[in-house]
């Protein structure tokens, strides 16, 4: 079972009233926003790693790699 932690956020009174008026669930809103921000940060991190690896990968000969894989499968 997952453990949960409590976080809080300050919002304007107008936003709070709008949430009530629209009968929105603030917990779901915050949870979704946090999940989206985590996903965005992970994607950014992956893109940065890919940029670092790109020069190395671009030097590889695709045909040679395919040939090596096929040869390895035949063993």
Per-residue pLDDT of the chain (75 residues; tens, 9 = 90+): 889 999 989 999 999 999 999 999 999 999 999 999 999 999 999 999 999 999 988 888 888 888 889 988 887
Q: Looking at residue 74, what is its pLDDT?
A: 85
Alpha-carbon distance of 4 to 16, in angstroms, equals 23
Q: Looking at residue 47, what is its pLDDT?
A: 97
The count of domains in the chain is 1
- 45 within domain boundaries: yes
For residue 51, what are the domain limits?
Answer: 13-74
Alpha-carbon distance of 71 to 67, in angstroms, equals 6
- 52 within domain boundaries: yes
- Strand, helix or coil for residue 1: coil
- 1 within domain boundaries: no
């Amino acid at each position: 079972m997952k453990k949960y932690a409590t976080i809080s956020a300050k919002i304007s009174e107008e936003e709070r009233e709008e949430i009530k008026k629209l009968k929105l669930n603030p917990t779901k809103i915050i949870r979704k926003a946090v999940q989206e921000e985590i996903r965005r940060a992970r994607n950014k991190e992956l893109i940065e790693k890919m940029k670092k690896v790109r020069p190395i990968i671009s030097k590889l000969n695709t045909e040679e790699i395919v040939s090596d894989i096929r040869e390895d499968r035949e063993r």
